[in-house]
């Protein structure tokens, strides 16, 4: 590497290379060359090998209506068939598909045959409710077997699901129901997290009462916590009652490859989250292929992705990818710190996990916990079953990488630092565990077939060693198809005119190493924050703040945080007097809770500062650069004479909390 500091390179051991799906860099380069020489052929061959098609496709990539690309458009397929029936048919019926560990530590195992039966029962139940191909179903469930069953049941009948993370508020849920015009909501009475029962159904009830959810005809309720919940006659039905007496077989609905498998809302640079629309065939192909190449999944593996099904990682690497590969996976209901911060390590030990995929924030918080209490250190557990580690969702700092590598992986497990997004559907830039020499902090090289590049504002590729904008030059099968109901926004956000509509704009900055060409992601280039691997728009939080009756104006920025990667800092102008002392503290609490209610607890600003105004240029533009510096506690050194109100900076320097 060309960095001034000596960077340590971690090569895969012979043992790892030997049996890997991509064994060595020559094998990786051969795959890349195959894709470069015959792009469509590369993907078509894998789509035929990796998936079972009801009607084989003859068309591969259709670019006639760019950037609304189509893949395998004349093929017909069913995702649930590929994840379940196909495994049963090839003799894996008695293989464990899911090892579910509850918050309370209770473990339940479900085989492929059982899972198929459960999915079919719910599919039949949903069909009886009138749900049909193309209808939308919103899923607001905790991490549970039922959550996966619900997603698979929708896929089975051709309904498009939209999972809403269980930590989102009534307002956020309402907005998503309204945007999808869902006819059914599947929820639970509540969820267990960290030993506590938290409500879900009451939040769903509130969402439905907010107006704009008239499309919803039925609410299916899973019993999890046993908490007393209200029931609206004619609308609400217990999950157990719905599936009672239903057959455990159900004919899959064979859908066009482009049929929307799911919508998943994510934050952008406006106040309104975007409904990212994914296809069926292309999406599933890359979910499978990345399980094979990036995770080197083998029949004997026990795979554990710690994400929630409310995020894209939980879609590709819990609900679809592992199942489509016939793998055994761990599904975990709880949190990494309950009953103590050794939970992950104990679970890896007891469940003999071989591939472990988590987020840098979790690693950083567990490093802290182990520093404070040596009995929670991974070395106190037997983690010898592990063979591959993964990281996702945010940049992993080299110190956390090295700790993960040495202490969790015992110095023998490659770490795949996977860069991708809700929109990309699957890994885009990532090491291949049996091939790529690893450099901590770099997601290394593109997934075979992915044409990632770093460009300047004009869309021209910059030389290695020079930072720029991350783009993808060719469409890929698992990419976003559109923003639900807003094709113009899709075009503007991802295929902007600045690049003549030819390049996919990821929204991240990146730099490639001078010598190796390795990519390092330098962070978002838009108004999107990444807090604990959760993506949030600054505008979304600002809109929530100004919706409070006492708030006149608000600006939100991120600041680096040791554990969560970034932390949310809000600068607020109240309608009345600027509060100080205890009044300010009380107001901070009130606004944090308000944002928690408007969006969800993950969006609560960590730091709120009050000013009589915000720093603005004479034309009234908020100087966000200055706010970022203030949030970090940096001295403002540059010329502020163009500010309309330089005195305001003093007020905003100090946190009142
Ligand atoms: O900024 C990048 C960051 O997370 C963003 C995507 O967030 P989301 O759509 O919620 O999907 C997260 C899970 C795939 C990206 O634009 N990001 C994701 N993975 C990495 C990353 N940043 C650095 N390194 C990564 N491995």
Give the pLDDT confidence of 100-123 residue by residue, as tens digits: 999 999 999 999 999 999 999 999
Report domain extents, the chain: 14-450+469-504, 532-652
Give the residue, by CA position, lying nearest to ligand 1 atom 7: 421
Q: Is 542 in the pocket of ligand 1 (CB under 6 A)?
A: no
Spatial separation of the C-alpha atoms in residues 261 and 250, rounded to whole Å: 18
Helix, strand or coil, per DSSP, at residue 31 = helix
Ligand 1 atom, smallest distance to 535 CA: 10
According to DSSP, the residues that pair with 643 across neighbouring strands are 617
182 burial (CB, 10 Å; 0-12 / 13-18 / 19+) is buried
Spatial separation of the C-alpha atoms in residues 574 and 587, rounded to whole Å: 10
Give the residue, by CA position, lying nearest to ligand 1 atom 6: 421
Torsion-angle region of 449 (φ positive above 0: left; ψ -120 to 50: alpha; else: beta)? left
300 burial (CB, 10 Å; 0-12 / 13-18 / 19+) is exposed
Q: Does 194 show up as a binding residue in the annotation?
A: yes
User: Buried b vs exposed e over 152-163: b needs ≥16 C-beta within 10 Å?
Assistant: bbbbbbbbbbbb
Give the residue, by CA position, lying nearest to ligand 1 atom 25: 419
Task: State in Å: Cα 27 to ligand 1 middle.
Answer: 27
Q: Does 395 show up as a binding residue in the annotation?
A: yes
Which residues in the chain show pLDDT less than 70?
Answer: 1-6, 655-657
Q: Does 195 show up as a binding residue in the annotation?
A: yes
Pocket probe for ligand 1: among 165, 393, 532, the residue whose CB has the most ligand atoms within 8 Å is 393
- Provide the pLDDT for residue 134: 98
Spatial separation of the C-alpha atoms in residues 545 and 282, rounded to whole Å: 39
Residues across the chain: 657
Q: Does 460 show up as a binding residue in the annotation?
A: no
Ligand 1 atom, smallest distance to 534 CA: 10
pLDDT in tens, 481-506: 999 999 999 999 999 999 999 999 99
Residue with tokens 């629309």: 277
Residue with tokens 């699957």: 426
Spatial separation of the C-alpha atoms in residues 182 and 184, rounded to whole Å: 6
Q: Is 443 in the pocket of ligand 1 (CB under 6 A)?
A: yes
Q: Is 429 in the pocket of ligand 1 (CB under 6 A)?
A: no
For residue 17, give every residue at least 6 positions away whose Cβ sits within 8 Å of its Cβ, in sequence order, or none: 23, 24, 434, 435
What is the pTM assigned to this prediction?
A: 0.95
Q: Is 315 in the pocket of ligand 1 (CB under 6 A)?
A: no
Pocket probe for ligand 1: among 421, 480, 518, the residue whose CB has the most ligand atoms within 8 Å is 421
Q: Does 222 show up as a binding residue in the annotation?
A: no
Spatial separation of the C-alpha atoms in residues 434 and 431, rounded to whole Å: 9
Helix (H) or strand (E) holding 532: none
Spatial separation of the C-alpha atoms in residues 441 and 325, rounded to whole Å: 29
For residue 562, give every residue at least 6 positions away whose Cβ sits within 8 Å of its Cβ, in sequence order, or none: 364
Task: State in Å: Cα 77 to ligand 1 middle.
Answer: 29
Give the residue, by CA position, lying nearest to ligand 1 atom 5: 421
Q: Does 364 show up as a binding residue in the annotation?
A: no
Nearest by Cα to 197 from 231, 219, 216, 223:
223
Q: Is 521 in the pocket of ligand 1 (CB under 6 A)?
A: yes
Q: Is 652 in the pocket of ligand 1 (CB under 6 A)?
A: no
Task: State in Å: Cα 441 to ligand 1 middle.
Answer: 13
Task: State in Å: Cα 296 to ligand 1 middle.
Answer: 21
CATH of 532-652, one of 1.10.30.50, 3.30.56.10, 3.30.300.30, 1.10.760.10: 3.30.300.30
Give the residue, by CA position, lying nearest to ligand 1 atom 2: 394
| Residue 465 in tokens | 């060693």
Give the residue, by CA position, lying nearest to ligand 1 atom 15: 421
- Provide the pLDDT for residue 6: 67
Rg (CA), the chain: 24
Q: Does 57 show up as a binding residue in the annotation?
A: no
Q: Does 393 show up as a binding residue in the annotation?
A: yes
Q: Does 420 show up as a binding residue in the annotation?
A: yes
Task: State in Å: Cα 361 to ligand 1 middle.
Answer: 12
Q: Is 507 in the pocket of ligand 1 (CB under 6 A)?
A: yes
Give the residue, by CA position, lying nearest to ligand 1 atom 3: 394
Q: Is 293 in the pocket of ligand 1 (CB under 6 A)?
A: no
pLDDT in tens, 304-321: 999 999 999 999 999 999
Task: State in Å: Cα 380 to ligand 1 middle.
Answer: 31
* 14-450+469-504: CATH number: 3.40.50.12780
Q: Does 249 show up as a binding residue in the annotation?
A: no
């Amino acid at each position: 590497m060309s960095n001034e500091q000596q960077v340590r390179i971690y090569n895969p051991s012979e043992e790892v290379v030997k049996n890997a799906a991509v064994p060595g860099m020559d094998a990786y380069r051969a795959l890349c060359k195959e894709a470069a020489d015959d792009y469509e052929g590369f993907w078509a061959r894998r789509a035929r090998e990796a998936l079972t098609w009801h009607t084989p496709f003859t068309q591969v990539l259709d670019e006639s209506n760019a950037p609304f690309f189509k893949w395998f458009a004349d093929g017909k397929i069913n995702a649930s068939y590929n994840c379940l029936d196909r495994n049963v048919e090839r003799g894996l019926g008695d293989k464990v598909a899911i090892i579910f560990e509850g918050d309370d530590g209770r473990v339940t195992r479900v085989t492929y045959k059982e899972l198929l039966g459960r999915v079919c029962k719910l599919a039949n139940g949903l069909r009886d409710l009138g749900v049909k191909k193309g209808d939308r179903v919103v899923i607001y469930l905790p991490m549970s077997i039922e959550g996966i069953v619900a997603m698979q049941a929708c896929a089975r009948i051709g309904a498009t699901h939209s999972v809403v993370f269980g930590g989102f508020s009534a307002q956020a849920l309402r907005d998503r129901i309204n945007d999808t015009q869902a006819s059914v909501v599947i929820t639970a009475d509540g969820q267990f997290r960290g030993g506590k029962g938290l409500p879900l159904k009451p939040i769903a009830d509130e969402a439905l009462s907010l107006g704009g959810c008239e499309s919803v005809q039925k609410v299916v309720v899973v019993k999890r916590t046993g908490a007393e919940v209200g029931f609206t006659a004619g609308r609400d039905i217990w999950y157990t009652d719905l599936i009672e007496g239903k057959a455990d077989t159900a004919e899959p609905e064979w859908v066009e490859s482009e049929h929307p498998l799911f919508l998943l809302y994510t934050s952008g640079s406006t106040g309104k989250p975007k409904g990212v629309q994914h296809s069926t065939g292309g999406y599933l192909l890359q979910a499978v292929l990345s399980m094979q190449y990036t995770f080197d999944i083998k029949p004997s593996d026990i795979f554990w992705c710690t994400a929630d099904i409310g995020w894209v990682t939980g879609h590709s690497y819990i609900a679809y990818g592992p199942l489509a590969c016939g793998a055994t996976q761990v599904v975990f209901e709880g949190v990494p710190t309950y009953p103590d911060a050794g939970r992950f390590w104990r679970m890896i030990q007891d469940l003999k996990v071989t591939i472990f995929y988590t987020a840098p924030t979790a690693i950083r918080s567990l490093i802290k916990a182990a520093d404070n209490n040596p009995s929670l250190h991974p070395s106190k557990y037997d983690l010898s079953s592990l063979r591959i580690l993964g990281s996702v969702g945010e940049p992993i700092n080299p110190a956390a990488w090295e700790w993960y590598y040495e202490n969790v992986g015992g110095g023998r497990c490659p770490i795949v630092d996977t860069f991708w997004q809700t929109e990309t559907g699957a890994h885009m830039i990532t090491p291949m565990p049996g091939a790529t020499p690893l450099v901590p902090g770099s997601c290394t090289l593109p997934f075979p077939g992915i044409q990632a590049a770093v460009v300047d504002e004009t869309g021209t590729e910059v030389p290695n060693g020079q930072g720029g904008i991350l783009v993808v030059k060719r469409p890929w099968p698992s990419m976003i198809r559109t923003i639900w109901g807003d094709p113009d926004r899709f075009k503007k956000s991802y295929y902007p005119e600045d690049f003549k509509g030819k390049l996919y704009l990821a929204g991240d900055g990146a730099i490639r190493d001078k010598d190796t060409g390795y990519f390092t992601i330098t962070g978002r280039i838009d108004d999107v924050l990444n807090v604990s691997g959760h993506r949030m728009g600054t505008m979304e939080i600002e809109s929530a703040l100004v919706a409070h009756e006492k708030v006149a104006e608000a600006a939100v920025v991120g600041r680096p945080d040791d554990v969560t990667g970034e932390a949310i800092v809000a600068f607020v102008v109240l309608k009345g007097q600027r509060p100080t002392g205890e009044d300010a503290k009380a107001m901070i609490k009130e606004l944090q809770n308000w944002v928690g209610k408007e969006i969800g607890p993950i969006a609560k600003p960590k730091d709120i500062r009050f000013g009589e105004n915000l720093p603005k240029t004479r034309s009234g533009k908020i100087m966000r650069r200055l706010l970022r510096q203030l949030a970090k506690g940096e001295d403002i050194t540059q010329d502020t004479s163009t500010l309309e109100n330089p005195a305001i900076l003093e007020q905003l320097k100090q946190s009142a909390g």
